[in-house]
Amino acid sequence: MNALGIHALVWACDIEPASTELAARQTRAAGYDFLELSLHDTTQLDVEHARAVLAEQGLGVACSRGLAFDADISSDDPAIVARGQRLLGESVEVAAALGARNLCGALYSALGKYSQPVLDCGDRLGYVHIGENHRGYLGAGAIDFGSFFHALRRIDYRGEITFESFSSAVVMPGLCSDLAVWRNLWSDGMDLAISARSFMQAHLRAAATI
């Protein structure tokens, strides 16, 4: 079965050492295989401490970041493109130092633009985020996850799948604005995480029988 991960913002609002430690403990307690760390503010991150905490919990790691409109590498403004390139270069270095094999997110343009469907990606698909349309509990929104997981099965995707969910109960106000998180859909991260893991595992098993 695919390795399952969870985004650190389910557990904590930043990536400072205490928050990273909490996120790692909770991720292991919820039964996930790896933790995805957001690199939205790398000045908060103690890389060596994070590596040690993840190793202590027996967790893998992935990294993500989103580019704001003032760092959109698809922009026509050279200064904006240069800022985006610097942020991406920094993110690659931090991800490598953490031991991450994947750096994902809105890396090709600013947040708010969309990628192509799973079947169009085919064997080029290297990493998957999963989240509900309202950022809450999986299965409580409008997304057809059955078709999504069947598509993953059709392209024989065997890579990592990370659950991502944001709530104003955890995420800082500034980041809430960037991510368009305008309401609180959950407050118990552990209940959310266990529910999501069970949901993903059930859909992976169902897709495997087709």
Q: Which CATH superfamily is domain 4-208 in?
A: Divalent-metal-dependent TIM barrel enzymes (3.20.20.150)
Cα separation of 208 and 210, whole Å? 6
Residue (of 50, 53, 55, 54) closest to 15 by Cα position? 50
**pTM, full prediction:** 0.74
**Full strand arrangement of the beta sheet holding 4-7:** 103-110, 60-67, 34-38, 4-7, 161-163, 128-130
Question: Which helix (H) or strand (E) is 172 found in, with range?
Answer: none
pLDDT at 114: 46
> Does the structure show a pLDDT above 80 at 60?
yes
- Per the model's pLDDT, the better-predicted residue between 66 and 178 turns out to be 66
> Does the structure show a pLDDT above 70 at 22?
yes
By three-state DSSP, how is residue 103 classified?
Answer: strand
Q: Where are the domains of the chain?
A: 4-208
Minimum mean pLDDT range among 10-19, 36-45, 82-91, 130-139: 130-139
